[in-house]
């Protein structure tokens, strides 16, 4: 699932391409919106809210989309070939001026009154990249359940909006705790929240997420996606396991260094049972 900085960059690019111009094409390829005609309406703004995108149109209308696991918006020039996937995966086409925005595999696409955007995003906690970011409120929401594992708490967008699994892994590493550490046991939790904002701010204007300061391939992350590879700090093999709330289908793969990070963690997988030893084996 895209992190908040990826969604911020997507919104920034869509805004730069479409805002201030009337739509000359608006093709919404979901059944409930198939007959909606938005052509001629001016695009006022495209803004992010956590991992949600809001395209605000004149007439008190907002086109709300969410990328979830593999949705994406691509921008093309007029007449340029679309390359985001097969045509049956296109869910939205918005054209203004010389640019065309194509939404692929969008699991959420709905039209709201702008004044009712809160119905879609009102449950979210403070937005790490939003103009109204409130660190104290985010910290209070996280601390309200001190026994909850920190990785699960950070993924919960009701606490603070914008953190995905990449940043959970990297934040836990940088603060020296495992994702299963109860939030109430995390030292200086205010530093964790401040670091989350710094990382997203540092990465929001570029594709990808660099948390190590090293942009070379294979060295952009401390532990995320590095299972069995040596920790970039101590050389210990990085481990992985599931974490999060599997009852709500919100579990993810956690990555951590068993030497650099303290706290509870699943026992290593012993591997397949080799079965009884052969009678011919030597003792």
The single residue of 2, 126, 149, 179 carrying the catalytic annotation is 2
- pLDDT tens by residue, 113-139: 999 999 999 999 999 999 989 999 999
- pLDDT tens by residue, 195-250: 999 999 999 999 889 999 999 999 999 999 999 999 999 999 999 998 866 554 45
pTM beyond 0.95: the answer is no
Task: Indicate whether 69 pLDDT > 80.
Answer: yes
The question of whether 227 is a catalytic residue gets the answer no
Task: Indicate whether 74 pLDDT > 60.
Answer: yes
pLDDT attached to residue 2: 83
pLDDT attached to residue 269: 65
Task: Indicate whether 251 pLDDT > 90.
Answer: no
Query: For all residues of the chain together, what is the average pLDDT?
Result: 92
* Mean pLDDT value across residues 56-69: 96
The single residue of 148, 226, 239, 252 carrying the catalytic annotation is 252
Report the percent of the chain where pLDDT is more than 90. 87
- pLDDT tens by residue, 163-203: 999 999 999 999 999 999 999 999 999 999 999 999 999 99
The question of whether 2 is a catalytic residue gets the answer yes
pLDDT attached to residue 180: 98
Task: Indicate whether 28 pLDDT > 50.
Answer: yes
The single residue of 48, 49, 51, 170 carrying the catalytic annotation is 51
- Name every residue whose Cβ is closer than 8 Å to that of residue 51 and which is 6 or more positions away in sequence: 1, 2, 3, 4, 7, 66, 67, 157, 161, 162, 164
The question of whether 32 is a catalytic residue gets the answer no
Report the percent of the chain where pLDDT is more than 70. 92
Q: How confident is the model at residue 274 (pLDDT cuts 50, 70, 90)?
A: low
The question of whether 51 is a catalytic residue gets the answer yes
Q: Could you give the CA distance from residue 218 to residue 252 in angstroms, rounded to a whole number?
A: 21
């Amino acid at each position: 699932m895209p992190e908040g900085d990826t969604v911020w960059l997507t919104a920034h690019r869509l805004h730069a391409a479409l805002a201030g111009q009337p739509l000359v094409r608006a093709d919404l390829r979901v059944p409930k919106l198939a007959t909606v005609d938005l052509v001629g309406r001016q695009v006022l703004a495209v803004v992010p809210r956590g991992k949600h995108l809001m395209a605000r149109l004149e007439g008190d209308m907002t086109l709300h989309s969410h990328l979830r696991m593999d949705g994406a918006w691509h921008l093309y020039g007029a007449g340029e070939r679309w390359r985001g996937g097969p045509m049956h995966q296109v869910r939205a086409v918005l054209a203004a001026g010389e640019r065309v925005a194509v939404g692929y595999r969008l699991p959420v696409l709905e039209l709201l009154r702008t004044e009712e955007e809160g119905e879609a995003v009102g449950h979210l906690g403070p937005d790490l990249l939003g103009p109204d970011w409130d660190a104290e409120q985010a910290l209070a929401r996280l601390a309200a359940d001190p026994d909850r594992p920190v990785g699960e708490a950070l993924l919960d967008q009701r606490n603070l909006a914008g953190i995905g699994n990449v940043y959970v892994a990297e934040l836990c590493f940088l603060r020296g705790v495992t994702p299963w550490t109860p939030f109430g046991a995390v030292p200086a939790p205010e530093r964790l929240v401040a670091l989350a904002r710094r990382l997203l701010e540092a990465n929001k204007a570029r594709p990808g997420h660099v948390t190590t300061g090293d942009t070379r391939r294979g060295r952009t992350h401390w532990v995320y996606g590095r299972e069995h590879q040596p920790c970039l700090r101590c050389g210990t093999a990085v481990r992985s396991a599931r974490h999060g709330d599997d009852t709500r289908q919100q579990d993810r793969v956690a990555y951590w260094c068993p030497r650099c990070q303290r706290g509870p963690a699943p026992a290593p997988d012993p591997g397949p049972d080799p079965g009884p030893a052969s009678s011919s084996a030597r003792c």
